[in-house]
Amino acid sequence: MANSNRKPILLDFEKPLVELESRIDQIRQLANENGVDVSEEIRQLEARANQLRQEIFSSLSPLQRLQLARHPRRPSTLDYIQAMTDEWMELHGDRRGYDDPALVGGVARLGGQPVIILGHQKGRDTKDNVARNFGMAAPGGYRKAMRLMEHANRFSMPILTFIDTPGAWAGVDAEKLGQGEAIAYNLREMFNLDVPIICTVIGEGGSGGALGIGVGEKLLMLEHSVYTVATPEACAAILWKDAGQAPQAAQALKITSKDLKQLGIIDEVVPEPDGGAHSNPLKAAELLKNVLLKSLAELLALTSQQRREMRYQKFRNIGVFAEVKV
């Protein structure tokens, strides 16, 4: 997991809470040094901190949730794998000469069940992010993902995908190597796999880069993650020629887990610890693991034909609406 000893990175809306918690720590330290009993005052301040935390994180705007989804300390795919699984073994390469570090995958056990896990991988700092291409997978990454999913299908292992990318790599070389074809191939083939597929948006789910590993019977979202056809900044630049209109775009795009659950795009919202997943990564992993195990049990009870039909109908129903005349 992320190193908890690093200096915290604060978002603007987190600062009042962190200042209050720092004040509580200072009072507690001074009381201990001087042998003064301030337990009642501490209790009142901690109650206020809890109340403030709930007020802040229950009323976040879509753009603030996007900031949380992009938080540098937010747990990544490899963080969740490390915290949730046993006997993890990463597998490399697309068998066509390329191993994309922006998309990782391998074999593991989750609650004793052998599974294939794959997902986008962002970096922790600038150097790591450059090496991981900021979680934007190249065509070789999606071909590696498909190779692992075919392996899972051959050996009857469920597939878990973790989505966390601003989008697929849009460079010239990516287009030369067939980025669109690689993603389209994954979309088609994932509908035909016999094994259970559970997809989870753990951070930023952007555009076709997210969809390339996002076809499954169940689509989960962490509470403060986002899932969108385009980033609010890109949408604002396209519609208004002004990236400064991103807050308005974020509101209109319905990118939050709550909105997408209401629209029927996702199946379940996975709660995060108070303060977001980055505030307590181990707790976040525990909450996600519980939901994954429950969902796996439900899907393993179905036949492969039922799972394929469930997958198909899920995506056929997206975007269906009825007009009501009044």
Q: Taking the domains of the chain in order of start, what are their residue ranges?
A: 12-59, 64-317
> For 135-164, b where at least 16 C-beta lie within 10 A, e where not — what string?
bbbbbbbbbbbbbbbeebbeeebbbbbbbb
* 167 contacts 206 by C-beta, under 8 angstroms: yes
> H-type helices in 72-125, by residue range?
77-84
Tell the burial category of 315 from Cβ atoms under 10 Å away from its Cβ (0-12, 13-18, 19+): middle
**Which whole number is the average pLDDT over 112-141?**
94
**Share of residues in the chain with pLDDT > 70 (%):** 97
Structure confidence at residue 2 as a pLDDT band (50, 70, 90): very low
Task: Name the nearest CA neighbour of 96 among 164, 57, 48, 145.
Answer: 145
- Taken in order 11, 13, 19, 22, the sign of the CA dihedral is negative
pLDDT digits (tens, 9 = 90+) for 197-253: 999 999 999 889 999 999 999 999 999 999 999 889 889 999 999 888 998 999 999
Q: 101-110, 226-235, 280-289: lowest mean pLDDT where?
A: 226-235
Q: What is the mean pLDDT of the chain?
A: 90
Q: Report residue 169: phi and psi, to 5°.
A: -60, 130
Tell the burial category of 210 from Cβ atoms under 10 Å away from its Cβ (0-12, 13-18, 19+): buried
Residues written for the chain:
326
- The pTM for the full model equals 0.87
Judge whether residue 75 has pLDDT over 60: yes
Structure confidence at residue 7 as a pLDDT band (50, 70, 90): low
For domain 64-317, give the fold.
2-enoyl-CoA Hydratase; Chain A, domain 1 (3.90.226)
Structure confidence at residue 124 as a pLDDT band (50, 70, 90): confident
Q: 54-63, 69-78, 127-136, 302-311: lowest mean pLDDT where?
A: 54-63
Q: 101-105, 260-264, 272-276: lowest mean pLDDT where?
A: 272-276
Judge whether residue 5 has pLDDT over 60: no
Task: Name the nearest CA neighbour of 81 among 101, 45, 110.
Answer: 110
pLDDT at position 28, please? 78
Q: How far apart are CA 222 and CA 202, in angstroms?
A: 5
**Which whole number is the average pLDDT over 50-54?**
76
* 38 contacts 31 by C-beta, under 8 angstroms: yes
pLDDT at position 14, please? 73
Out of 20-34, 95-109, 237-251, the most confident range is 95-109
Q: How far apart are CA 138 and CA 322, in angstroms?
A: 38
pLDDT at position 25, please? 79
In this structure, what token pair is assigned to residue 208? Answer: 């076709």
pLDDT digits (tens, 9 = 90+) for 30-51: 777 777 777 777 788 878 877 7
* 139 contacts 179 by C-beta, under 8 angstroms: yes
pLDDT digits (tens, 9 = 90+) for 172-185: 999 999 999 999 99
pLDDT at position 164, please? 96
Judge whether residue 4 has pLDDT over 50: no
95: left (phi over 0), alpha (psi -120 to 50) or beta: left
Q: In angstroms, what CA-CA distances link 283 with 57, 170, 278, 279?
A: 17, 35, 10, 9
- Taken in order 254, 63, 199, 164, the sign of the CA dihedral is positive
Which residue type, as a one-letter code, is found at position 70?
R
Q: Which is more confidently placed, 139 or 323?
A: 139
